[in-house]
Amino acid sequence: MKEGPDISRIAALIGDPARANILTALMSGKALTATELAAEAGVTLQTASAHLSKLEAAEMIAARKSGRHKYFTLGGDDVGHALEALMGLAAGAGHLRTRTGPKDEALREARVCYNHLAGARGIALFQGLLARGLVAEFGDEISLTPVGEAHLADFGIDLGTLKKSRAPLCRSCLDWSARQTHLAGSVGRALLTRMEERGWCRRIEGTRIVAFTDRGRAAFDATFSA
Protein backbone atom coordinates (compact mmCIF):
# COMPACT_ATOMS: atom_id res chain seq x y z
CA MET A 1 0.00 0.00 0.00
CA LYS A 2 1.28 3.45 -0.88
CA GLU A 3 1.90 5.78 2.03
CA GLY A 4 1.93 9.54 2.48
CA PRO A 5 -0.38 12.27 1.21
CA ASP A 6 -2.52 11.50 -1.82
CA ILE A 7 -1.67 14.27 -4.28
CA SER A 8 -3.72 12.71 -7.08
CA ARG A 9 -7.03 13.93 -5.61
CA ILE A 10 -5.82 17.52 -5.31
CA ALA A 11 -4.16 17.38 -8.72
CA ALA A 12 -7.40 16.12 -10.28
CA LEU A 13 -9.35 18.97 -8.71
CA ILE A 14 -6.94 21.61 -9.99
CA GLY A 15 -6.55 19.87 -13.35
CA ASP A 16 -10.10 20.54 -14.49
CA PRO A 17 -9.99 23.73 -16.65
CA ALA A 18 -13.13 25.25 -15.11
CA ARG A 19 -11.93 24.64 -11.55
CA ALA A 20 -8.47 25.94 -12.46
CA ASN A 21 -10.08 29.17 -13.70
CA ILE A 22 -12.12 29.44 -10.50
CA LEU A 23 -9.03 29.04 -8.33
CA THR A 24 -7.04 31.49 -10.44
CA ALA A 25 -9.81 34.08 -10.12
CA LEU A 26 -9.67 33.72 -6.33
CA MET A 27 -5.92 34.42 -6.37
CA SER A 28 -6.91 38.09 -6.49
CA GLY A 29 -7.72 37.77 -2.80
CA LYS A 30 -11.24 39.07 -3.38
CA ALA A 31 -14.28 37.09 -2.22
CA LEU A 32 -16.46 36.22 -5.21
CA THR A 33 -19.98 34.81 -5.62
CA ALA A 34 -20.85 31.63 -7.49
CA THR A 35 -22.29 33.74 -10.31
CA GLU A 36 -19.05 35.70 -10.67
CA LEU A 37 -16.99 32.51 -10.58
CA ALA A 38 -19.23 30.86 -13.17
CA ALA A 39 -18.43 33.76 -15.51
CA GLU A 40 -14.70 33.40 -14.79
CA ALA A 41 -14.86 29.66 -15.49
CA GLY A 42 -17.05 30.02 -18.59
CA VAL A 43 -19.64 27.57 -17.32
CA THR A 44 -23.25 27.70 -16.19
CA LEU A 45 -24.11 28.56 -12.61
CA GLN A 46 -25.29 25.00 -11.99
CA THR A 47 -21.98 23.58 -13.23
CA ALA A 48 -20.00 26.13 -11.23
CA SER A 49 -21.93 25.20 -8.08
CA ALA A 50 -20.93 21.56 -8.55
CA HIS A 51 -17.28 22.54 -8.96
CA LEU A 52 -17.43 24.79 -5.90
CA SER A 53 -18.86 21.98 -3.79
CA LYS A 54 -15.94 19.72 -4.72
CA LEU A 55 -13.37 22.42 -4.02
CA GLU A 56 -14.98 23.29 -0.70
CA ALA A 57 -15.09 19.64 0.36
CA ALA A 58 -11.34 19.43 -0.29
CA GLU A 59 -10.82 22.66 1.73
CA MET A 60 -9.27 24.35 -1.30
CA ILE A 61 -11.83 27.14 -1.00
CA ALA A 62 -13.84 28.52 1.90
CA ALA A 63 -17.35 29.93 1.84
CA ARG A 64 -19.07 32.48 4.01
CA LYS A 65 -22.51 34.05 3.92
CA SER A 66 -23.25 37.76 4.06
CA GLY A 67 -26.95 38.49 3.98
CA ARG A 68 -28.50 36.57 1.13
CA HIS A 69 -25.21 36.11 -0.66
CA LYS A 70 -22.54 33.44 -0.36
CA TYR A 71 -18.96 34.37 -1.07
CA PHE A 72 -15.97 32.18 -1.82
CA THR A 73 -12.26 32.68 -1.12
CA LEU A 74 -9.20 30.45 -1.32
CA GLY A 75 -8.93 28.00 1.56
CA GLY A 76 -5.74 29.59 2.88
CA ASP A 77 -2.17 30.65 2.19
CA ASP A 78 -1.06 27.10 1.38
CA VAL A 79 -3.53 26.91 -1.50
CA GLY A 80 -2.28 30.23 -2.87
CA HIS A 81 1.36 29.14 -2.65
CA ALA A 82 0.58 25.86 -4.41
CA LEU A 83 -1.22 27.65 -7.24
CA GLU A 84 1.58 30.19 -7.68
CA ALA A 85 4.11 27.34 -7.86
CA LEU A 86 2.01 25.54 -10.48
CA MET A 87 1.79 28.75 -12.50
CA GLY A 88 5.59 28.87 -12.42
CA LEU A 89 5.84 25.29 -13.65
CA ALA A 90 3.36 26.02 -16.44
CA ALA A 91 5.17 29.20 -17.50
CA GLY A 92 8.57 27.47 -17.40
CA ALA A 93 7.28 24.66 -19.61
CA GLY A 94 5.84 27.13 -22.09
CA HIS A 95 2.20 26.43 -21.23
CA LEU A 96 0.95 30.00 -21.52
CA ARG A 97 -2.43 31.36 -22.47
CA THR A 98 -2.64 32.20 -26.16
CA ARG A 99 -4.24 35.61 -25.73
CA THR A 100 -1.71 38.20 -24.63
CA GLY A 101 -2.06 41.92 -24.19
CA PRO A 102 -1.21 44.91 -21.98
CA LYS A 103 -2.44 43.11 -18.86
CA ASP A 104 0.34 40.53 -19.18
CA GLU A 105 3.08 43.12 -18.82
CA ALA A 106 1.21 44.76 -15.93
CA LEU A 107 0.82 41.40 -14.17
CA ARG A 108 4.54 40.76 -14.44
CA GLU A 109 5.29 44.21 -13.05
CA ALA A 110 3.14 44.00 -9.91
CA ARG A 111 0.23 41.79 -8.93
CA VAL A 112 -1.42 40.35 -5.87
CA CYS A 113 -0.59 36.74 -5.08
CA TYR A 114 -3.63 35.91 -2.92
CA ASN A 115 -2.77 38.47 -0.23
CA HIS A 116 0.78 39.70 -0.84
CA LEU A 117 2.78 41.51 -3.51
CA ALA A 118 4.21 39.53 -6.43
CA GLY A 119 5.76 40.26 -9.80
CA ALA A 120 8.87 42.35 -10.42
CA ARG A 121 7.85 44.79 -7.69
CA GLY A 122 7.37 41.94 -5.19
CA ILE A 123 10.77 40.47 -6.04
CA ALA A 124 12.37 43.92 -5.66
CA LEU A 125 10.73 44.24 -2.25
CA PHE A 126 12.21 40.95 -1.04
CA GLN A 127 15.66 41.68 -2.49
CA GLY A 128 15.61 45.12 -0.86
CA LEU A 129 14.66 43.68 2.52
CA LEU A 130 17.57 41.24 2.24
CA ALA A 131 20.08 43.86 1.09
CA ARG A 132 19.11 46.25 3.87
CA GLY A 133 19.43 43.51 6.49
CA LEU A 134 15.74 43.70 7.39
CA VAL A 135 15.21 39.98 6.82
CA ALA A 136 17.57 37.01 6.94
CA GLU A 137 17.35 33.97 4.67
CA PHE A 138 18.40 30.49 5.77
CA GLY A 139 17.60 28.10 2.96
CA ASP A 140 13.83 28.26 2.58
CA GLU A 141 13.42 29.93 5.98
CA ILE A 142 12.99 33.70 6.19
CA SER A 143 12.96 35.68 9.42
CA LEU A 144 12.82 39.32 10.45
CA THR A 145 15.95 40.80 11.97
CA PRO A 146 15.79 43.22 14.94
CA VAL A 147 16.59 46.03 12.50
CA GLY A 148 13.78 44.78 10.28
CA GLU A 149 11.28 44.77 13.12
CA ALA A 150 12.14 48.37 13.95
CA HIS A 151 11.92 49.39 10.29
CA LEU A 152 8.50 47.80 9.83
CA ALA A 153 7.24 49.35 13.05
CA ASP A 154 8.29 52.76 11.72
CA PHE A 155 6.44 51.91 8.51
CA GLY A 156 3.27 51.48 10.55
CA ILE A 157 2.99 47.70 10.84
CA ASP A 158 1.78 46.28 14.16
CA LEU A 159 4.12 43.33 14.60
CA GLY A 160 2.73 42.59 18.04
CA THR A 161 -0.62 41.72 16.54
CA LEU A 162 0.96 39.72 13.71
CA LYS A 163 2.97 37.65 16.17
CA LYS A 164 -0.20 36.59 17.97
CA SER A 165 -1.44 34.87 14.84
CA ARG A 166 -0.59 31.26 14.06
CA ALA A 167 0.34 32.28 10.52
CA PRO A 168 4.10 32.54 9.84
CA LEU A 169 5.47 36.08 9.83
CA CYS A 170 7.64 35.54 6.77
CA ARG A 171 7.41 32.91 4.09
CA SER A 172 9.03 32.53 0.70
CA CYS A 173 6.84 32.22 -2.37
CA LEU A 174 8.24 31.41 -5.81
CA ASP A 175 7.11 34.01 -8.32
CA TRP A 176 5.71 32.35 -11.44
CA SER A 177 6.69 35.13 -13.86
CA ALA A 178 10.36 35.41 -12.89
CA ARG A 179 10.98 32.20 -10.90
CA GLN A 180 12.44 34.21 -8.04
CA THR A 181 11.34 34.60 -4.45
CA HIS A 182 8.88 37.18 -3.22
CA LEU A 183 7.72 37.60 0.38
CA ALA A 184 4.57 35.94 1.66
CA GLY A 185 3.35 35.34 5.22
CA SER A 186 1.63 37.84 7.49
CA VAL A 187 4.43 40.39 7.00
CA GLY A 188 4.07 40.17 3.22
CA ARG A 189 0.32 40.70 3.55
CA ALA A 190 0.76 43.61 5.96
CA LEU A 191 3.31 45.34 3.71
CA LEU A 192 0.96 45.30 0.72
CA THR A 193 -1.93 46.54 2.86
CA ARG A 194 0.19 49.38 4.24
CA MET A 195 1.32 50.42 0.75
CA GLU A 196 -2.31 50.61 -0.30
CA GLU A 197 -3.18 52.63 2.81
CA ARG A 198 -0.44 55.09 1.99
CA GLY A 199 -1.77 55.51 -1.54
CA TRP A 200 1.31 54.06 -3.20
CA CYS A 201 -0.70 51.55 -5.19
CA ARG A 202 -4.16 50.15 -5.79
CA ARG A 203 -5.61 46.91 -7.05
CA ILE A 204 -7.26 47.08 -10.47
CA GLU A 205 -10.84 45.85 -10.22
CA GLY A 206 -11.45 42.47 -11.83
CA THR A 207 -7.75 41.63 -12.17
CA ARG A 208 -4.74 40.67 -10.04
CA ILE A 209 -2.86 43.78 -11.17
CA VAL A 210 -1.44 46.15 -8.55
CA ALA A 211 -0.90 49.58 -10.11
CA PHE A 212 1.69 51.86 -8.49
CA THR A 213 1.50 55.62 -8.85
CA ASP A 214 4.61 57.59 -9.80
CA ARG A 215 4.78 58.86 -6.22
CA GLY A 216 4.30 55.31 -4.96
CA ARG A 217 7.16 53.98 -7.05
CA ALA A 218 9.48 56.68 -5.76
CA ALA A 219 8.42 56.06 -2.15
CA PHE A 220 8.77 52.29 -2.60
CA ASP A 221 12.30 52.65 -3.97
CA ALA A 222 13.32 55.02 -1.17
CA THR A 223 11.91 52.72 1.52
CA PHE A 224 12.67 49.22 0.28
CA SER A 225 14.88 49.02 -2.81
CA ALA A 226 18.33 47.45 -2.52
pLDDT digits (tens, 9 = 90+) for 119-174: 999 999 999 999 999 999 987 789 999 999 999 999 999 999 999 988 889 988 88
> pLDDT value at position 43?
93
Q: Are residues 217 and 124 in contact, defined by beta-carbon separation less than 8 angstroms? A: no
Give me the pLDDT at residue 103, please.
Answer: 64
pTM of structure: 0.73
Task: Find out whether 91 and 188 touch, Cβ atoms under 8 Å.
Answer: no
Element (H, E) at 137: strand 135-138
Cα separation, 170 vs 182, in Å, equals 10
Q: List helix spans (H) across 42-155.
A: 45-57, 77-92, 102-109, 119-131, 146-154
Give the phi and the psi of residue 97 in degrees, each rounded to 5. -65, 145
Is 154 strand, coil or helix?
Answer: helix
Dihedral pair phi/psi, residue 66, rounded to 5°? -140, 105
Regions in the chain scoring below 50 on pLDDT: 1, 98-102
Question: Given this model, what pLDDT does residue 100 score?
Answer: 44
Sign of the alpha-carbon torsion through 122, 200, 153, 156:
negative
Q: What angle do CA 220, 86, 54 make, to 5 degrees?
A: 115
- Kindly list the structural domains of the chain, giving each domain's residue range(s) and its CATH number in brackets, ordered by start: 7-75 (1.10.10.10), 79-224 (no CATH)
